[in-house]
Chains A and B, each alone.
Chain A
Amino acid sequence: MAFDAIFEPIDIGKLTIRNRVVSTAHAEVHATDGGMTTERYVKYYEEKAKGGCGLCICGGSSVVSIDSPQGWWSSVNLSTDRIIPHFQNLSRAVHKHGGKIMIQITHMGRRSRWDGFDWSTLLSPSGIREPVHRSTCKTIEEEDIWRIIGDFAQAARRAKEGGLDGVELSAVHQHLIDQFWSPRVNKREDEWGGSFEGRMKFGMEVLKAVRAEVGDDFCVGMRICGDEFHPDGLSQDDMKQIAAYYDATGMVDFFGVVGSGCDTHNTLANVIPNMSYPPEPFLHLAAGIKEVVSVPVIHAQNIKDPNQAQRILEGGYVDLVGMTRAHIADPHLIAKIKMGQVDQIKQCVGANYCIDRQYQGLDVLCIQNAATSREYLGLPHIIEKSEGVKRKVVVVGGGPGGMEAARVAAERGHDVTLFEADEALGGQITIAAQAPQRDQIAGITRWFQLELARLNVDLRLGTRADEATLLDLRPDIVVLATGGQPFLSQFPEWGYDENPEESLVVSTWDILSGKVAPGKNVLIYDAICEFSGVSAADYLADKGAKVEIVTDDIKPGAAVGGTTFPTYYRSLYEKEVIMSSDLMLHKVYREGDGLVAVLENEYTGALEERVVDQVVVENGVRPDEALYYALKAQSRNKGQVDLEALYAIKPQPCLSEEGDGFLLFRLGDCTAPRNTHAAIYDALRICKDF
C-alpha cells in the first residue's frame, strides 16, 4: 500500500497516534485573548484533526510563568488555572475527529522582547543579550529558577486537566532550558552551569517536577535542537549526549528535533527552511538523535510532500514527521492522501508568508490558502456545490486572484471561462519564479492548473479579453483580476518610455521574465524593498552582471520577512552584489553608450552618480483598470463590492437580487496593488457564495 508508513499508528508513551504526521508547535499569533485560546484557535486545530492529522502540538512557546514574555506572539498562557476550560474546548474539538493534541510549554528566558505588555524582566543564566530580538536580560537567581521549575509543573497539570494529551517542553530556539544547556549563553560556575551535569540541571529539575505532577499516563516530550551551528554552541555530538542523558531517565516520552539554533537572523532562517532549501535539510541531525534515544523522534523542517514523508518514515530516519507548513497550506492533506487525491493537495511552496507574519507579530496566514486560520469565520477549505442556479462566470486574468476565482466558482458548480493574455497561467507568480532559488513559488500555479483542469474550467490562454468577447459569452458574473503593470512612469526624470528603444529604465519584470537581456553593469533602484528587487538583483548577478541594488528605505529587502531575507543576503553577498540604502533615484540620463543614474541621499540631499549600462527600477504595480471602466456602467452592480458583506464573510447582496445583465467584481492588484494572499483572499470571499 502506498503511504503505509505514514498510516502506521504509533504509541507515544501510553498514547496511540493514528498516523505518523504531526503539526508541530508554532506560534499561531491569532491564538488568544489575553493568553486564553479563542474560537479561532480551536477551529484552526479542529480543521487539522478533521483533515486527518495524527498529532497536533499547539501553542509554540506557550508560557508557564508570568514573566515569560507573551504579548508579542499572543502566546497561550499556562500560568493560570483560567486556561483549563479553554483547553477543554480545544481538546474536545480535536478528539472528536480522532486527533491528539499536546501543547508546547516553555519559559523563554532572554528570548523575545521586554518592551511591551507587562514589561517583564527577561532572564538568562548569565545575563547575555539575545541578538534576534535585541533583548537584554537579567542574570537569573536561584529563587527564579525554583519558581519557574514549579511553574512548569503547574502548567503541565493545567494541560492535563484541560484534556490535552501531553506537553512538549521547549528546549530549543534558545529558550530557558537550552539557554542553560548552551555554553555560549550559560557562563555560570555554580551548580546550574559549568560541568555537563550542571548545565543539564535546570532541564532535569523541570522534567522531574513535571513528571511528578502529571504521573505516567500523560505524555511529556522535549523539543531539542540537532546542532546550534555556532562554533561556541552545542554541536550534534553535544546534542546526542544531552538527548541520551535525558532519555536515560525514562521520563521523556518523545523528542522533537529541530536542526539549527536560532538566536541569530541567519540561523533562524534554518529553522523554518524556505523554498531555497533542499527537502528535509536537517533530517540527518534528527536521525542522529534517534540513534541514541529509546523513544519516538519527531522531525519537521521542509517535509511537504506525502511521498517525501513516506520515504523518510520508511527509511526509519525518524518516527514521526512534522508537516506543519504543509498543514497550514492544506489542513486536509491526510484526508486527500486517503481519498487518493494526492494531486489535489495544496502543497506548501516554502514562501514562508506564515512564519514571516508571525515574526512581525501578525497572525499566521497562508500565502495560497485564504481559508486557513479563518475557519472560525466560516471560510471553507472544501467549497460546497451551490444548490442555486448554474451561472455563467467569466474570469479575466490568470494570476493568483483569477485562478482562485475560477476555482471557487467552478467548485460551486458554475460554468467558468478564464481568459489569460499570456500563454500560461500564473501572472506575477510566473515572473517571481524566475529568480534563483525562487522557482518553487510556481507550485502555487501548478496546483491551480491541476484544479482548474479537474474542474473543467474553460481556459482561454493567450487570449486578451475585450469587452465584446466578454459580452458575447452572455456572462452572469464577470470577475476581473487583470492585475497591473510596473509603475515606471511615476517620475519623468527616470526616463521611462513606452517604447523600449527610447526608455532609459526597465522593470524587474522585464529582467525576470527574460524580456530584456541582463546588462553587464546594472543599477537596481528598489523603492518597494519586497521580493522583486532582491530577486532581480540575484537574477542579474547570477547571469554574471555586476549589480548594485539601491533603496531609499533602510536596506534592500527590508520588507522581506525574517526567515527569507537571510537566504537572499547569503546569495547576494556571495555574488558580491552591493547593497546601498537611503538613496533615492533622482534622474537617469544617457551618456555615450552608457547610462548615468543620479542618486540623492534622503538625509543630506547630496547627489552621487553611477555610470552603468542598465537601470532597473522596482516601483510596484499600477492597476490595470481599462476593462473595469469599460464594463462598469453596464453591470448590474456598477462593479461595486458590498464591503460590509465582504468583511463579514456574507454573500454579496447583489447575488440574490433579480435583474438583467451581469454582475461585475474586481479583485487583486487590478483594484489596488497588494500581494498574492490578498488577491486569493478577495477571490475566495467574493466567489464562495456564487
Chain B
Amino acid sequence: MLDTLLPILIFTALTLAAIGAVRRIRLWRQGRPSPVNLLKGLAAVPRRYLVDLHHVVGRDKMISNTHVATAGGFVAAAVLMILVHGLGLANPVLGGLLLLASTSMFIGSLFVARRRINPPARLSKGPWMRLPKSLMAFSLGVFLITLPTVGLLPEGLLEGSGSWLLALILAGVLAWGLGEMFFGMTWGGPMKHAFAGALHLAFHRRAERFGGGRSTGLKALNLENEAAPLGVEKPADFTWNQLLGFDACVQCGRCEAVCPAFAAGQPLNPKKLIQDMVVGMAGGSDAAYAGSPYPGKPVGEHAGSPHGPIVALEGKALVDADTLWSCTTCRACVEECPMMIEHVDAIVDMRRHLTLERGKTPNKGAEVLDNLIATDNPGGFDPGSRLNWAADLELPLMADLKQVDVLLWLGDGAFDMRNQRTLRALIKVLKAAEVDFAVLGNEERDSGDVARRLGDEATFQSLAKRNIATLSQYQFLQIVTCDPHSFHVLGNEYGELGGHYKVRHHSTFIAELFEAGRLSFAPWRGGSVTYHDPCYLGRYNGEFEAPRNVLKALGIEVKEMERSGFRSRCCGGGGGAPITDIPGKQRIPDMRMNDVQETGAELVAVGCPQCTAMLEGVVDANAEVRDIAELVADALVERPAADTSGTAHRPAATTTAEEVIV
C-alpha cells in the first residue's frame, strides 16, 4: 500500500509546492524591476550559503550546528526520498544514506525543539512553535518508511492485513512532514525561509556583500526618470528582489535584539517591519504576527495591500510613519541578519516617499532640510562662517594651494563648538606630524548624509554634485575627516555620482602617522578608558582596528564594552534620529552610557562628532567623552631627533592642551 501511496504523496506535495512557488514568485514580481543575472546568481548560491551566510549564522555556534544538522539532513533526505520512494530506486546504499540524512535531521530537530522550550522574546511564536514537531514528523516518517528499504524491517510488515492502520498512521505523519516541508515552503509556512532565502542569496541587491565584500552605501534614486516613483509608497514600489528579501525572514529576531530604537521603547522592531512588508506584499493584516510588536503598538490594528499605501495619509495603514522615523540607520539589524535582509535600505526607501512626495519629515526634519537647501548646512548657519572657529589657526586653503597630500574635510561639526575642539586637536596633530594638508573652508558644503537618511535624495544629490564639482578643481592624495558620516558618504556614496576618492577616517590616518614614526606620545596618565565604535566607522566601513591601535599607541588599554566592534550599540545620533526625535521609554545614548559605566571606565573615547554630542548629552554620566584626536593632541610630545637617544621626550614647546580647547 505504501509503495503506491508514497509516490502519490511525494509528487502531490511537490506539485503543490511548485504551484505555490509560482504564486510566491508572482508576489515578488509585483515589485519594480531590478536586473539580475539569473544563472550566475543561482550558481553562486552554494558558496554564498555555505560561506557568507554561515559566517553570520556561525556567530551562534549552537544554532549554527543545529541548522547544519537539520537543514543539511533535510536537503539530503528530500533528494534521496524522491529518488528512493518517489521514483522507486530502492537501492540499499541510497536507503542507508537516507536513513543517515533523516537521523541527522531528527537529531537537529530535537535541538530546534529544545530552543522552543521557553524561547527568548525575540523569537516569533505562532506557526514557528510547530516547526520542530513538523521537522520530527518528516524525519521520523522518512526514517521509518526507509527501514524496509535497507532490510532492517521485513518487507511485508506494512503489507499484511491489519497493518493498514499502521501504514495509514505512518502515511499521515509523513503527509504532515511533507506538507510542512514542501507545501509549506512555498505557501507561506515557516519553511518559506528556505525557498525565499536561497533565492534571496542568488538575487541579493547587494551582491558585493558576498565573498567578504562590504556594501553599505545607499543606492541613488534616479531623479531624472519622471515615471519612477520617488521612494516607496506601497509594497509594490520596492524592487522585486527587495520583496524577495523580506520573504526570506526567519523571524529569529536577532535584529530586534540589537535594535537600539526597539530597546529604547521607540515604535520600531526591524523584524516586525519586515513581516509587515511581507503582509503588505500578499495583502492582509498583521493579526497573525506572533512576535514582539512595535513598542506601544498592539498587533492587529494595521493592514495593507501590494498597491495600497504603506503609511496612511490619515489613520492607519500597514506601518505608521513614526516607526520609519525611529531608525538610526545604525545597520545593527542588517549586520545581525542571517538572511542578509537590508532593513535600512527599505526604511530609507519609504522615508524618501514621505519626504519627497509628501513633505512629511517630522519634527525638526523639515527645518533641517530647509536649512540645507538654503545654507548648505543643517544648522542654517551663515555658509561664510564655516571657518570662524579657526580664525586664529591660519589654516591652509585648497583655493590657495590647489594641490596637497591631504584634504582635511571638516564636516558640519565645524559649526559646533564641541566638535571644533576635536577639529583643533586634529589640526594640532596634523601640524605636529608636518602633514601637507589644506581645507576647502567656506567652499565645503554638508556632505548630504543627513538629507539622504531623512529621505531627501534631491538635496543629497544637489549637495553631493556641488561638492564633487568643488573637489574636482583640486589635487590631493586623500581626504581625511573626523566625521564618519562624511567619511562614509564621500567614500561610499559619491562614487555613484561621479566622485571617487580615497577617504580616511582620522583614526586611520593618525594610526598610519604613528606607524610611520611621525608622532610621539607622552605616557598615558589618565584613568581607564573604553572605546565606542561609531556605526558609520565600524559597521558601515569595517574600521575597528585603527582607533584601537591609536589608543594602544597612547598607552591605553581599552576596557571593551560587551557590545563593541561590529556589535557596537548605536549612540542614537545617526539617520537623523535626533532630528526626527521619536519618543520612546528611554534615550538611546543613556543606554550606551550605561554600557560604558558597566566597564567602569572613566573616559569613553569616540571618533565621531555625532557620538560625542549624543554621549556628552547624557545627564549625570560617570565617564568623560573625548574624541581620539583630543587624546592624541593632549599626549603629543616632540619627536625625538633622529640622531639623539630616546631621552628627548619633552612636551611640545609650541602648543599646550589649553590651546586645543580654545
Residues in chain A within 8 A of chain B (CB atoms): 1, 3-4, 7-9, 16-19, 50-52, 96-99, 334-335, 337-340, 387
* The 9 A-B residue pairs with the shortest CB-CB distance in the complex, in nearest-first order: A98-B392, A9-B391, A52-B662, A18-B391, A18-B392, A335-B662, A50-B658, A335-B661, A338-B417
Interface contact A97-B391, CB-CB below 8 Å: no
Which residues in chain B, 381-430, are within 8 Å of chain A measured between CB atoms?
Answer: 381, 385, 388-389, 391-393, 415-418, 420-421
Q: B379, B525, B662: which contacts A98 (Cβ < 8 A)?
A: B662
State how many angstroms separate the Cβ of A48 from the closest Cβ of chain B: 11
Q: List 25 A-B contacts (CB under 8 A).
A: A1-B381, A3-B417, A4-B381, A4-B388, A7-B389, A7-B417, A9-B391, A16-B391, A16-B392, A50-B659, A50-B662, A51-B658, A52-B661, A52-B662, A96-B659, A97-B656, A97-B658, A97-B659, A98-B662, A99-B392, A335-B662, A337-B417, A339-B661, A340-B418, A387-B525
Chain A residues contacting B415 (CB-CB under 8 Å) are 1
Cα separation A334 to B417 with both chains bound (whole Å): 11
Chain B residues contacting A97 (CB-CB under 8 Å) are 656, 658-659, 662
Contact with A along B450-491 (1 / 0, CB 8 A): 000000000000000000000000000000000000000000
State how many angstroms separate the Cβ of A340 from the closest Cβ of chain B: 7
Instruction: From B385, B418, B525, B658, name the one whose CB has the most chain A CB atoms within 10 angstroms.
Output: B658
Q: A8, A51, A339: which contacts B388 (Cβ < 8 A)?
A: A8
State how many angstroms separate the Cβ of A326 from the closest Cβ of chain B: 16
A98's nearest neighbour on chain B, judged by CB, is B392
Contact with A along B643-662 (1 / 0, CB 8 A): 00000000000101011011
- With A1-B381, A340-B417 given, can you name 5 additional A-B contacts, CB distance below 8 Å? A7-B388, A16-B392, A96-B654, A98-B393, A98-B662
A10's nearest neighbour on chain B, judged by CB, is B391
Chain B residues contacting A99 (CB-CB under 8 Å) are 392
State how many angstroms separate the Cβ of B391 from the closest Cβ of chain A: 4
Cα separation A98 to B662 with both chains bound (whole Å): 9
Interface contact B391-A51, CB-CB below 8 Å: no
Contact with A along B501-534 (1 / 0, CB 8 A): 0000000000000000000000001000000000
Cα separation A338 to B658 with both chains bound (whole Å): 12
Chain B residues contacting A337 (CB-CB under 8 Å) are 417
State how many angstroms separate the Cβ of A255 from the closest Cβ of chain B: 22
Interface contact A338-B659, CB-CB below 8 Å: no
Interface contact B417-A1, CB-CB below 8 Å: yes
Interface contact A50-B656, CB-CB below 8 Å: yes
State how many angstroms separate the Cβ of B268 from the closest Cβ of chain A: 31
Cα separation A561 to B525 with both chains bound (whole Å): 47
State how many angstroms separate the Cβ of A28 from the closest Cβ of chain B: 22
Cα separation A636 to B131 with both chains bound (whole Å): 79
Chain B residues contacting A340 (CB-CB under 8 Å) are 417-418
A16's nearest neighbour on chain B, judged by CB, is B391
Interface contact A338-B421, CB-CB below 8 Å: yes
Number of interface residues of B (CB under 8 A): 21
B662's nearest neighbour on chain A, judged by CB, is A52
Chain A residues contacting B658 (CB-CB under 8 Å) are 50-51, 97, 335
Cα separation A99 to B662 with both chains bound (whole Å): 10
Interface contact B662-A51, CB-CB below 8 Å: yes
Cα separation A99 to B391 with both chains bound (whole Å): 10
Instruction: From A1, A52, A99, name the one whose CB has the most chain B CB atoms within 10 angstroms.
Output: A1
B381's nearest neighbour on chain A, judged by CB, is A1
Chain A residues contacting B381 (CB-CB under 8 Å) are 1, 4
Cα separation A9 to B384 with both chains bound (whole Å): 11
Cα separation A3 to B662 with both chains bound (whole Å): 14
Chain A residues contacting B421 (CB-CB under 8 Å) are 338-339
Cα separation A19 to B420 with both chains bound (whole Å): 14
Cα separation A8 to B384 with both chains bound (whole Å): 10
Cα separation A97 to B662 with both chains bound (whole Å): 9
Cα separation A52 to B67 with both chains bound (whole Å): 63
Chain A residues contacting B418 (CB-CB under 8 Å) are 340
A2's nearest neighbour on chain B, judged by CB, is B417
Cα separation A340 to B662 with both chains bound (whole Å): 12
A7's nearest neighbour on chain B, judged by CB, is B388
Chain A residues contacting B391 (CB-CB under 8 Å) are 9, 16-19
State how many angstroms separate the Cβ of A79 from the closest Cβ of chain B: 32
Interface contact B654-A1, CB-CB below 8 Å: no
Chain A residues contacting B420 (CB-CB under 8 Å) are 338
Chain A residues contacting B379 (CB-CB under 8 Å) are 1
Chain A residues contacting B659 (CB-CB under 8 Å) are 50, 96-98
Cα separation A9 to B388 with both chains bound (whole Å): 6
State how many angstroms separate the Cβ of A91 from the closest Cβ of chain B: 14
Contact with A along B243-287 (1 / 0, CB 8 A): 000000000000000000000000000000000000000000000
State how many angstroms separate the Cβ of B622 from the closest Cβ of chain A: 12
A97's nearest neighbour on chain B, judged by CB, is B659
B418's nearest neighbour on chain A, judged by CB, is A340
State how many angstroms separate the Cβ of A608 from the closest Cβ of chain B: 62
Chain B residues contacting A18 (CB-CB under 8 Å) are 391-392
Cα separation A139 to B456 with both chains bound (whole Å): 76
Cα separation A334 to B415 with both chains bound (whole Å): 16
Chain B residues contacting A96 (CB-CB under 8 Å) are 654, 659
- State whether A8 and B385 are in contact (beta carbons under 8 Å apart), knowing that A335-B662, A338-B662 are contacts in the complex: yes
Q: A1, A16, A51: which contacts B416 (Cβ < 8 A)?
A: A1
Chain B residues contacting A335 (CB-CB under 8 Å) are 658, 661-662
Cα separation A97 to B656 with both chains bound (whole Å): 9
State how many angstroms separate the Cβ of A319 from the closest Cβ of chain B: 15
Chain B residues contacting A16 (CB-CB under 8 Å) are 391-392
State how many angstroms separate the Cβ of A388 from the closest Cβ of chain B: 13
Cα separation A4 to B416 with both chains bound (whole Å): 10
Instruction: From B381, B661, B662, name the one whose CB has the most chain A CB atoms within 10 angstroms.
Output: B662
Interface contact A334-B662, CB-CB below 8 Å: yes
Chain B residues contacting A50 (CB-CB under 8 Å) are 656, 658-659, 662
Chain B residues contacting A51 (CB-CB under 8 Å) are 658, 662
Chain B residues contacting A334 (CB-CB under 8 Å) are 662
Cα separation A401 to B557 with both chains bound (whole Å): 41
Interface contact B392-A4, CB-CB below 8 Å: no
Cα separation A617 to B388 with both chains bound (whole Å): 57
State how many angstroms separate the Cβ of B625 from the closest Cβ of chain A: 11
Interface contact A4-B662, CB-CB below 8 Å: no
Which residues in chain B, 341-398, are within 8 Å of chain A measured between CB atoms?
Answer: 379, 381, 385, 388-389, 391-393
Cα separation A3 to B416 with both chains bound (whole Å): 11
Chain B residues contacting A52 (CB-CB under 8 Å) are 661-662
Interface contact A338-B661, CB-CB below 8 Å: yes
Instruction: From A97, A334, A337, name the one whose CB has the most chain B CB atoms within 10 angstroms.
Output: A97
B653's nearest neighbour on chain A, judged by CB, is A96
Cα separation A98 to B659 with both chains bound (whole Å): 8
Chain A residues contacting B525 (CB-CB under 8 Å) are 387
